[in-house]
C-alpha cells in the first residue's frame, strides 16, 4: 500500500542528472506497466517510441521548447496515438484475443464487427482525440510505475507536434506524437524538488450526486 506515499514523493522534474542512468530492469518494468494499461475495447491504439539516439534527442530539443529534460534525462519516451484505427487493427486485436484465450476466432467475430461499427461512428477528429486519450492513459501508468520505483519523470506537452512528427517520420506510420515522458534521476540542483505539492483538496475535486 505504498502508492499514495510514492505519488506524494514524485514531482515533475525540471532538471535531470545526465550522469545517472535508469537500469534496464527498471525500464522493462515501466514498459510492462504501459503494456498492461486499460484500453477501450482492448485495442491499444497507441505506440511508444524510446528515443535512444543522443543526436536525435539533441535535434528534438529545439522542437521541445529547448527544455533540458529532452537531452539530460536517462530515457525519453514519445507516446504516439494512432491517427486512424482501421479494420486491420481490429482484426489483429481479435486474432490476438483468440490466441491468448484459446477461443475460435469465429466465436468473437461478432464482437469485432461491433467494435468496428462503433469506430465507424466517429469522425476523423473524434477518432484522433479518442486514440490520444488512450495514449494518455498509458502515460499515467508509466508515471505511477516510475513513482513506485522512486525514479523521477516529467510528462511533457511543451513541444511542437508538427515538427516532432516530421522529425520522427510519424505521419508515414499513421501516428501522432501526443505527449512525451522524460525518465531519469533528479539533479541535486533541481529547485523544484523542494516545492510542496499543490493539489486541490479532495472535497473540492469530488462531488457526491
Which overall architecture, per CATH, does domain 3-87+122-205 show?
A: 3-Layer(aba) Sandwich (3.40)
C-alpha dist (Å) from residue 105 to 12, 94, 120, 199:
44, 7, 22, 47
Q: Which positions ≥6 away from 152 have C-beta within 8 Å?
A: 10, 11, 13, 16, 146, 183, 184, 185, 186
User: Could you tell me the residue ranges of all domains in the chain?
Assistant: 3-87+122-205
pLDDT in tens, the chain (209 residues): 799 999 999 999 999 999 999 999 999 999 999 999 999 999 999 999 999 999 999 999 999 999 999 999 999 999 999 999 999 999 999 999 999 999 999 999 999 999 999 999 999 999 999 999 999 999 999 999 999 999 999 999 999 999 999 999 999 999 999 999 999 999 999 999 999 999 999 999 999 99
Using DSSP, state whether 181 is helix, strand or coil. strand
> CA–CA separation, 131 vs 122, rounded Å?
11
Amino acid at each position: 500500500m505504498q502508492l499514495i506515499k510514492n505519488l506524494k514523493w514524485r514531482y515533475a522534474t525540471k532538471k535531470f542528472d545526465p550522469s545517472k542512468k535508469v537500469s534496464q530492469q527498471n525500464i522493462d518494468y515501466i514498459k510492462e506497466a504501459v503494456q498492461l494499461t486499460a484500453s477501450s475495447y482492448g485495442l491499444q491504439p497507441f505506440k511508444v517510441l524510446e528515443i535512444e539516439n543522443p543526436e536525435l534527442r539533441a535535434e528534438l530539443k529545439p522542437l521541445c521548447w529547448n527544455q533540458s529534460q529532452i537531452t539530460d534525462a536517462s530515457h525519453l519516451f514519445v507516446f504516439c496515438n494512432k491517427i486512424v484505427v482501421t479494420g486491420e487493427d481490429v482484426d489483429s486485436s481479435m486474432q490476438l484475443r483468440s490466441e491468448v484465450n484459446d477461443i475460435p476466432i469465429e466465436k468473437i467475430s461478432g464482437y469485432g464487427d461491433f467494435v468496428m461499427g462503433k469506430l465507424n461512428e466517429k469522425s476523423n477528429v473524434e477518432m484522433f482525440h479518442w486514440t490520444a486519450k488512450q495514449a494518455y492513459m498509458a502515460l499515467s501508468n508509466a508515471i505511477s510505475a516510475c513513482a513506485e520505483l522512486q525514479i523521477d519523470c516529467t510528462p511533457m506537452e511543451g513541444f511542437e507536434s508538427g515538427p516532432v512528427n516530421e522529425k520522427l517520420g510519424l505521419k508515414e506510420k499513421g501516428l501522432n506524437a501526443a505527449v512525451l515522458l522524460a525518465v531519469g534521476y533528479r539533479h541535486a540542483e533541481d529547485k523544484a524538488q523542494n516545492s510542496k505539492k499543490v493539489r486541490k483538496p479532495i472535497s473540492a475535486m469530488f462531488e457526491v450526486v
